[in-house]
A and B are shown apart, each in its own frame.
Chain A
Amino acid sequence: MPYNIIVLIKQIPDLELIKVNPSTGEPILDGVPYRFENLSKNAVETAVRIKEKNGGKITAILFGNDKATQVMKEAYAMGVDEGFIITGYQESNPIITARVLSEKIKQIPHDMVILGNQSADSMTGLLPGMVSSLINEPLLSSAVSLEVNNRTAKISSGTEREVLEMEAQMPVVISVAQEINEPRFPPVMQIIAAGRKKINIESSQIKSESMTKLVSRKAPKSDRKRIVFEDVDKGAQEVAKVIKEVAR
């Protein structure tokens, strides 16, 4: 049975490339490129695997800015059929993001909404429940495996203490955990083809506002010695010395 699937994807600054201003401790974000958020990629992979097995259509929604086309093209290359970028994203505020995404979700017929359980940069973990609540569809949360059959979605979910198996009737919201799959690297031909596909860009009607007043945003101090040995033998000797001193 074919399914209409919506995936929610996020672009984030490339975290590994963010440098810290040594005198203020503040992160330098200017010029840092955006990339696909980790869990959003797992969400796309989950959707694509369902489509490959059952047929159907995948629509991606991204609340971000006009720099997000690269991420959307990557999503196309992975197997997303249609993409909407909603511009107007200012900063992480789950309440606003959930409202913007839910407004759009409501306009698109769907059986499933798939998203990450906790994004790699802001890590709020609040989006799945908020979206489920706003569109009034049940939530299957933190899936590490997913099966769909006859408009029933069934997942295993790993909580801290237990593995829960649960199911719900579609339409349903499904949040995925990182362990659910290993996202694919699309072949070059697919990436090139994806570059030509139309991306819908709309601007958000909901006014962005801050969730909090920021008092400070600084990297915790790191004063590591950073002594790196390329000579293994010398390094091993030095490291053994350090271990012996502490273990004594």
Chain B
Amino acid sequence: MKFMIFSDASDLSKQIMTYLRGKGDFFLYTTEDRPELLSYGATKVTVLKGDQTPESLSSFLSSEFKSNGFDSIFIASSVIGRDVASYLAQSLGLKAVPEIYDVSINGSNVKTKRYGLGGKVVLEEESDAKIFTFIPGISDDNPSGGNSPSESKEIQKGRVTITAVKPKKGREVDLEKASIIVSVGRGLGKKEGIQQIEPFVKMVKGELAGSRPVCLDYKWLSEDRQVGYSGRKVKPKIYIALGISGQIQHIAGMRDSKIVIAVNKDKSAPIFQEADYGIVGDLYQVVPKIMSYL
């Protein structure tokens, strides 16, 4: 088997390459010029420079696919990756199964696993799909050593013009490795709430995380601290959810936690269904109380 990989996120590139190793030859196409990507066993690494819009990237990838005789395409599920996948599915006329976290390929029959109903269920499916988008967490990240040959290619400009690029701050934390996570939601009510919770986080030697509104909409915490379907998938020994309602997309990121503790002032909040221990109350009263017993 000969696989094409496209990823604009190095952590996903590494996971996909680790996952595919031993299953066939794979070629990585990436927008990131990072030497460490050369030590994962790719037959070749192609760095894509120039236009970074999905339409332009996929028209290049589409012709690469045709001229190289690839069997299937693995794409990192990122903002750009999902669009690239849909363009490729259309232009190549191939079936795509999106957002998978597990796959086994047997000739033209492919078994995949992904979430359905917002993360409530796991869909195990069979298909003859050739394009897949992968969500984070499909595999560990193990370099194989060696040094893949690399080249760079210039992508031609398309109909969308990029007028400015501002890098985001790098990752601050490795939530995946934390043993206790204190996670705050919209129930925090205000940015200053973070400072009030920090002493508690310190006391339990935990890491601070948050729901999507807290990290993305209000920016009370940095984006790399978002837990959930479209954020980090974490499995600490204790996950403490403060003022988080427990909607399915959040649960999808913390479901594998060993013990879940929830504090919410609404007795009927769904988070209590996903918790081992719940306290109904105002987090600003409950947290100091817990601290007084620690």
> A: which residues have CB within 8 A of B?
13, 15-16, 18, 20, 26-27, 92, 94-95, 98, 117-118, 120-130, 132-134, 138-142, 154, 157-169, 175, 177-179, 182, 211-220, 222, 224-230, 232-233, 235-244, 246-247
| Docked pose: A92 CA to B235 CA in angstroms | 30
* Minimum C-beta distance from B63 to chain A (A): 15
In contact, A219 and B120 (Cβ under 8 angstroms): yes
Give the complex CA separation of A232 and B179 in angstroms: 25
Closest CB in chain B relative to A112 CB, distance in Å? 14
- Beyond A126-B96, A243-B204, 16 additional pairs, beta carbon < 8 A: A16-B248, A120-B249, A125-B98, A126-B85, A128-B83, A129-B84, A159-B78, A161-B167, A162-B168, A164-B165, A165-B162, A175-B83, A217-B121, A219-B122, A225-B276, A235-B286
Bound complex: CA A139 to CA B55 (Å):
8
> Counting chain A CB atoms within 10 Å of each CB, which of B77, B267, B276 scores highest?
B276
Assembled-state Cα–Cα distance A179/B32 (Å):
26
User: Which residues on B are within 8 Å of A, measured CB to CB?
Assistant: 8-9, 32, 52-55, 58, 77-80, 82-87, 89-91, 95-99, 111-112, 115-127, 129, 133, 158-168, 179-180, 204-205, 212, 216-217, 229-230, 237-238, 240, 247-249, 255, 259-261, 267, 270, 272-281, 285-286, 289-290, 292-294
Query: What 5 A-B pairs are tightest by C-beta distance, nearest first?
Result: A129-B86, A240-B293, A235-B279, A125-B82, A212-B125
Q: Is B280 within 8 A of A246, CB to CB?
A: no
**How far is A219 from B252 in the complex, measured between Cα atoms in Å?**
11
**Most chain B beta-carbon neighbours within 10 Å: one of A164, A167, A225, A244:** A164
Nearest Cβ on chain A to B32's Cβ, whole angstroms: 8
**In the assembly, what is the distance between CA of A228 and CA of B273, in Å?**
9
CA distance A167 to B166 in the complex (A): 15
Is B259 in contact with A242, judged by CB distance below 8 angstroms? Answer: yes
The interface centre, meaning the residue of A133, A178, A218, A244 with most chain B CB atoms within 10 A of its CB, is A133
Residue of B with least CB distance to A125: B82
* Chain A residues near B117 (CB-CB < 8 A): 13, 15, 18, 27, 121
Contact (Cβ within 8 A) B274 A167:
no
B259 closest partner in A (C-beta): A242
Do residues B83 and A166 form an inter-chain contact, with CB atoms below 8 A? no
- Least CB distance, B157 to chain A, in whole angstroms: 11
Residue numbers in B under 8 Å from A16 (CB-CB): 247-248, 270
A213 nearest CB neighbor, chain B only: B126
Checking A121, A224, A237 against B275 with a beta-carbon cut-off of 8 angstroms, the contacting residue is A224
Contact call A126/B112, Cβ cutoff below 8 A: no
CB-CB under 8 A for A235 and B277, given A120-B249, A215-B111: yes
| Distance in angstroms between the alpha carbons of A221 and B205 in the assembled complex | 29
Q: Give Cα distance in the complex from A157 to B161, angstroms.
A: 13
B79 and A139 contact, CB distance less than 8 A: no
Does the CB pair B118–A123 fall under 8 Å? yes
- Residues of B near A120 (CB, < 8 A) are 118, 249
18 contacts between A and B (CB under 8 A): A15-B118, A16-B270, A27-B117, A129-B87, A130-B90, A133-B91, A141-B79, A141-B80, A160-B79, A166-B163, A179-B216, A211-B95, A217-B124, A219-B120, A229-B280, A232-B286, A238-B277, A242-B259
Task: Give Cα A212 to B115, complex, Å.
Answer: 14
**Given A139-B54, A236-B289: A129 and B168 within 8 A (CB)?**
no
